[in-house]
Structure 1
């Protein structure tokens, strides 16, 4: 009898439930530890009883499920660094205006911005106190100084800054993104404020980063164009810092972003290549064991050099399990393999569950496993090439169906020409990777520039040009598709019932399809009612400009002072439209007075004119730094709140805030507290 009488898939689902519960509740580590130990003991007792009676009991299964859920809650508490006594959040005063002496160890280099080099660093000491915890370090770019290597310890005179939530509705929540990586503060500084102390004993990641940087330096000596070199580094080494925004958007809009991010596709191809390369070992005694060992060592070595990012980690873990099954002749099921890899990864870091890449990669593979066998037999040709093309199309469609609802929820777009990219590139991606690794070998050996480098550069250039062409077919790129979480779940339920019906065309399964369609229609109706019954007025935050939105049902009126170029490329409005399912948006210039239901908003601009009003406004918006006596204004108009947007000077905002504090009147600066919303 097996220790657990439940499939690994069910246990993984229970672990996921536990992680979600742990992230949404505030159980202490000791509470979850005691609960997990008690449940584990109960599970073992029930296992022993059922084993002695040679009979399965429902209690054993129940306790096994509860134990796995409890373990999920436990590992969330264990991996949350804020629960540790020495975390810097328990000691540092964010309101302290003075700089602290902070000792950091560089952990990882991030993609730089226009003005800053960015890093993830571990805090070792703040002033005289030994603490720990991860922060994001932003260092102003300086042409005279190079980037800080991984494992370097530095002393920096600066302040910790608390992470800020998004300032506008439906904006990307970078604060939550960093907190999911256990980063709870950031430091902004420059090279003049830091001192390099020493290089610590190199960590595994630091050693791998040194090798990667050495390879990159070698590649930079050859005549690759900047975009070609950026893609080569991303494709072969997982180094995406040099990918330009335009190039990244071309790959994303072409539905080929998975080409740039080393993931399951790359690791799977590398596994096939290594399996073929070491195939001769099968002839020898213990050859399969040696072959498997070599493959695993090389897979994980590549993963380390490529940065061991979450996408690489999950792909390497998954295909390591596949490698065992392939080479040790163990029977394996793809869904069980996926579940094992997910279970192991979530035990290592439960916060992987909340990463978009983790969710999309597993759903894509699940889509392929479930849907591809159904699509493949639909078309058969008498020739090999058309069959291979159809198989590639079927795989691409299956993966897209698997990720479609979640992709719409996160990105609100659908690249309908994704199949062109996949059919043309994926068949030769193995060749591109193999050729690329050979080019790296030649570069490491300091081989002089020759025709092989030119050919490889041409191949990468052609691939970039293809994706750029596909991305610019805007008629086939559907953007700004509204989707929320309950509609995404409803869409998944509908997809699953349809798949189940085509697997077994039974009356009950057809009934389930019809019920799921009905449920989705109900969700759409509920969503429409929610949108149309929800009205609000929003003072958005926009640096140097003013932006006010009034939402009535699915109609939006935007009042602004933006020029046409900024207005066209403004994500603030687009995010709000998509998030609120807006169907019609009208634009207008700013007026002095707005009425929303029974509330009045008075806008005072740089002219500072507000006298002779025949009403008392509920809210006053100060914009373009008006020179006014705020105390006199408050006494005259008696508002319930003073609002300042991003168009004001910071010195004015500080003075207004102090005045409102003295008068005990709410003051809302959108640059700190985010958009002001009147329901």
Structure 2
């Protein structure tokens, strides 16, 4: 630690940020603590005591820094000016970043534009205005004017509200992402006509220059690759239902690699790079900055410039590039880290990568402590920390495998031997480096994306050099763009060739067996243990006899916590109802369900996006059973997608024969898919049982005319908790079930489809079931498929707890020996005793528990 003081200080500062974020105290509390500890340190004379005081001061400084950023101190703070309820306002502020168009691969509505706005003033609908400060995310339906650029002062009218929580776990958590950037509100704007430019940006601002450079660079980089490249400019490719040609997509990928426009990459291409673990190549980060600095240093040193001048020019060049791509956080981190290393090179100070890493982290977090909670920051420093640990540990591998010949001097070796030795040494060194990078990023990728990509260890060996060649060609093209256009176009085609090879390789690596698979996000205990181990090895703390006992105790405690967490996870059943547009899906995991059971899956779009993402979030790569409970295509139409992606062992269909033509087509498609999957079989329930469920409707030989009346109704008992699932409910179905009596229908928890039947029939059915908890699986969109308000009172009368997936999002029922617990995606619940006036009550804890 003493040889790497800045690394130790950075770790203590990070600990302070965590404490400050968790405690949420007023900054005066931490400022008082800093003052008192400082006075105490001045009064103490012993060296060891002062060292402890310094440690405490660094921790308190980190807590103070984050509390100053997150606590609403000023009366004009946006959180003190507006409430958490949606309100119509006009906002005057400064555009913070270039407006972007998110990927619309699964988007049914028209494209929207989003950007960040620094708020200066708010005008309420009543006409009252008030000064305010803070950042808001502005989401506009449609495409706004290209004249709206960073540092432009605008007036925007829309609805100011808090970002929504994700309705389905595993999908993008916008609220959490924005909070990590200090953004707590979003402004929803109905159209581009609600924007008004109050003052255009200065002609000499750095953002204006950056915008002009990007327009010029995009035009020059596409020169010769696209016919319309001379006139076209857009931050994203054309939005249409037609697939983009491969050649065109590769050309757009050049913009993504060189200028950081990841919106130009198609969804299929992104998926390939994600699964091969090489998506990091498109983030303007250490690879880009390192390649630019290497090219600059090598060129200037060959010319004959001194060490100091070379490093100074390299620093200027990398910051010019960072400003040209409009200061993305990943580029700023990489540029800061490289600047510190090059500055040490200028002053001829012995370099220590781990110490430089700590200095970079301290500087970045002192300016913006919230970056600690951003994935980019965690990946950057996690990977660099692992490289600092793994490279010294495994750097001997190339030397051990290829030891020098002691009897033949290197100068006398044959050229073929030299080339072979250098090639093998480069491959082994790259393999060790790639393994170290994977060690640092694997837990974070698993945490945020539920994805494990061991293939990235091999994939990075060819992909990183190809990316370097493509970047070098991009830089050369821009350098010769005005001097020699034909030569610039030649470099464009060179960049296209390297990008095409990268696309082909990423697709090939992504489809290799066991190259990638989905995992459950690791627990906090595992994450802490993993990076504690890296820090102990990297800092050499295992050599400190006084600390090693304490660290060992902490490590054992974390392992015990991880073990307890895992035992609790595998000993309980979970049944989750997912809200889908026009449909629903029920996911069952835990003892008795094998790899997992899926009951219905929504339509094709829902199965591709929401259901697949949720199953991947749970670490499910294949399922044991897919149950198609009904003949309604909006509830089961996505079955072919689920069979293709998750290869279930059993596909259970209904007894009834449905006359729907789309349903019959879907069954034919399933039968065609099953022929190519020898482990998969399609059949109806045998002996009225789908393990571990019992089928109580329909009985063999009984058919109704309406599809909703022929729905499979399932019941089962888990740890003394009885569950009843009625996915769809029709009038005849409700009457038939009610006639079976309480002995068959009795259940603690009832999963019920949208009830659109006469009230007296529904009341008779509920009187026989006598549920403690009712979970209504109604749809979010369209609104016509939500539960009618007049049924709320009736449902509440027959239950102690009532939930709606349209309001509460995904609802998970956790069943264990001690009872069951309801967990909702959004922190709102509906309670029976509140239904004299129907409304939703916010709850600080979305979890409610009931023990049998």
Q: TM-score, normalised by structure 1?
A: 0.85
Q: Is 1:454 aligned with 2:450?
A: no
Shift of the alpha carbon at 1:11?
A: 1.1
Shift of the alpha carbon at 1:603?
A: 3.6
Shift of the alpha carbon at 1:318?
A: 0.6
Q: Structure 1 pair 670/66, CA: closer, same or farther in 2 (3 Å)? A: same
* Alignment match, 1:99: 88
Aligned length: 661
Shift of the alpha carbon at 1:511?
A: 12
- More RCO (CA 8 Å, sep 6+): 1
Shift of the alpha carbon at 1:592?
A: 4.0
Q: Is the 8 A contact 1:604 1:610 kept in 2?
A: no
- Equivalent residues in 2 for 1:462-541 (5 A)? 462-480=501-519, 483-491=522-530, 525-541=563-579
- Equivalent residues in 2 for 1:3-42 (5 A)? 7-42=5-40
Distance 2:159 2:579 in 1: 25
Q: Is 1:136 aligned with 2:137?
A: yes
**For 1:541, what is the secondary structure of its paired residue?**
strand
Distance 1:406 1:526 in 2: 21
* Alignment match, 1:675: 810
- Equivalent residues in 2 for 1:2-401 (5 A)? 7-43=5-41, 45=42, 50=45, 57-80=47-70, 82-95=72-85, 99-108=88-97, 109-114=99-104, 115-127=111-123, 128-142=129-143, 146=146, 148-189=148-189, 190-201=191-202, 204-224=206-226, 225-279=247-301, 289-380=308-399, 381=402, 383-401=421-439
Q: Is the 8 A contact 1:500 1:509 kept in 2?
A: no
Q: Write out per-residue CA displacement over residues 107-157 of structure 1, whole angstroms, 9 at most, x where no aligned residue.
A: 113452322122122223221122122122222234x95473222333332
Q: Decide which structure has greater helix share.
A: 1
Distance 1:152 1:311 in 2: 24
Shift of the alpha carbon at 1:607?
A: 2.5
Q: Is 1:412 aligned with 2:545?
A: no
Q: Is the 8 A contact 2:454 2:516 kept in 1?
A: yes
Shift of the alpha carbon at 1:13?
A: 0.9
* Alignment match, 1:53: none
Shift of the alpha carbon at 1:451?
A: 3.3
Q: Is the 8 A contact 2:473 2:492 kept in 1?
A: no
Q: Is the 8 A contact 1:254 1:470 kept in 2?
A: yes
Q: Is 1:439 aligned with 2:440?
A: no
**For 1:103, what is the secondary structure of its paired residue?**
strand
Distance 2:760 2:178 in 1: 38
Shift of the alpha carbon at 1:675?
A: 1.9
Q: TM-score, normalised by structure 2?
A: 0.69
Q: Write out per-residue CA displacement over residues 615-659 of structure 1, whole angstroms, 9 at most, x where no aligned residue.
A: 476656553562544998499747655634326642564742895
Alignment equivalent of 1:610, drawn from 734, 754, 766: 734
Distance 1:182 1:493 in 2: 28
**For 1:329, what is the secondary structure of its paired residue?**
coil
Q: Structure 1 pair 671/124, CA: closer, same or farther in 2 (3 Å)? A: farther
- Equivalent residues in 2 for 1:542-581 (5 A)? 542-553=580-591, 555=593, 558=597, 560-562=599-601, 569=608, 571-572=610-611, 575-576=614-615, 579=618
**For 2:263, what is the secondary structure of its paired residue?**
coil
Distance 1:626 1:446 in 2: 72
Distance 1:410 1:170 in 2: 9
Shift of the alpha carbon at 1:8?
A: 1.5
Q: Is the 8 A contact 1:300 1:316 kept in 2?
A: yes
Answer with 1 or 2: which has the greater Rg.
2
**For 1:255, what is the secondary structure of its paired residue?**
coil
> In angstroms, what is the RMSD of aligned CA positions?
4.1
Distance 1:113 1:179 in 2: 21
Distance 2:173 2:508 in 1: 31
Q: Is the 8 A contact 1:8 1:339 kept in 2?
A: yes
